[in-house]
Amino acid sequence: MSEDRASHGMELMWAPWRMGYIRSKEAGGCPFCIPPCGDEEGDRARHVLARGRHAYVCLNLYPYNNGHLLIPPYQHTGDITELPPEALAEMSELMRVGVEVLGRWAGPQGFNVGYNLGEAGGAGVADHLHMHVIPRWLGDTSFLCVVSSTKVVVQALDESYDELRPLFVEAMERRGLAG
């Protein structure tokens, strides 16, 4: 038994990358509020894969599975009824692009797609709504999830970004959506 476990009665799991999220919450910053226009360096740092007029696609910094996408609107709101119809339509179109790209990239057997609206609905960032696109495979919920509430993500975000970004650029151009 590790010294940490013996002294605390539990196993410690280190996740230092979460500090950025914690600090942004402490500073009152919204992780989804970004300008509608960005540069390549800023988009890479934020893992932004594609931009539309009303919304954008980025990798989830705390993914359920590799390739877990988020699609937030540029408008800061937690109320889906406040978004204009064209923003919701574009988010749906970006979701379709995401499903296409992830299908080509990783060959998932299914997807979870949707919103967690409000804190009670499971939203980690309740005041800025966002759509999730999560690739899924049969059996991707292993014993680790059930026994220890632990999920294994097998590829670093920067590696996923480098592989997905050109696929999104091509898909957005082909559909005439390049922002």
**Average model confidence (pLDDT) across the chain:** 84
Domain 3-174, what architecture?
A: 2-Layer Sandwich (3.30)
- CA atoms of 171 and 33, how far apart (whole Å): 24
For residue 81, what are the β-bridge partners?
A: none
| Active-site entry in 47, 54, 130, 132 | 130
Strands of 131-136's sheet in order across: 48-51, 56-59, 69-71, 131-136, 110-115
Distances (CA, A) of 106 to 98, 118, 134, 135, 152: 12, 30, 11, 8, 16
pLDDT of residue 136: 93
pLDDT of residue 5: 47
Does the annotation count 76 as an active-site position? no
pLDDT of residue 148: 45
By C-alpha distance, which of 40, 43, 75 is closest to 59? 43
pLDDT (tens digit per residue) in 26-61:
556 899 999 888 888 999 999 999 999 999 999 999
Distances (CA, A) of 178 to 3, 31, 43, 175: 53, 23, 14, 8
CB 83, CB 100: distance < 8 Å: no
What's this model's pTM, rounded to 2 decimal places?
A: 0.80
